[in-house]
Amino acid sequence: MIFVYNPDTGKIDFAIGGQPMELALATNVPLGMSALESDEVSSIDRYYIKDETLTERPSFSPTISPTSIPADGVSIVTILGFPADSILTISGPISETWTETETSTELTVNLPGKYKVRIENWPHQDAEVTFNAT
């Protein structure tokens, strides 16, 4: 398998199978990208390239408490245990994206429904937590 990636971030854009490295480099690697040949994995979502080595992306396990609150705009949901400077995206009855400089955040909502909070911090694997507001 040949992995085509951004040499600045290590983020893998796509993988090419069944071609010799020379042919893949000549026909499929966009300008500014790099390629690495490896037979170690079949899924690119959990990996990135670090120091020209296929490396598993680190993971984190955020916690949320409580998992259900009144939709009163006052009650608080706390999310803990994610890397500082993560990008958080809440979706559900409301949608918003922000960068959290701390390793935790507190949320209040005033619309009932199910909410999902996606947490991204490259090169970590993305994580999600959910809560309900009634």
> DSSP of 96-117, one letter per residue?
EEEEESSSEEEE--SS-EEEEE
Examine the fold and report which residue of 19, 34, 56 is the final residue of a domain before the chain moves on: 56
**How many residues in the chain?**
134
| pLDDT tens per residue across span 6-47 | 999 999 988 877 666 666 666 677 888 888 888 766 678 899
Domain count within the chain: 2
**Report field, pTM of the whole predicted structure over 0.85:** no
Secondary structure class of 91 (helix, strand, coil): strand
So what's the pLDDT on residue 8? Answer: 94
Q: Are residues 69 and 129 in the same domain?
A: yes
Q: Are residues 126 and 67 in the same domain?
A: yes
Q: Are residues 68 and 122 in the same domain?
A: yes
Q: What is the CATH number of the domain that holds 127?
A: 2.60.40.10
B/e letters for 93-127, b = 16+ CB within 10 Å, e = fewer, are: eeeeeeebeeeebebebeeeeebebebbbeebbbb
Residue 34 is part of which domain span? 2-56
Q: Are residues 78 and 45 in the same domain?
A: no
Contact in structure between 4 and 26 (CB atoms under 8 Å):
no
Q: Are residues 43 and 89 in the same domain?
A: no
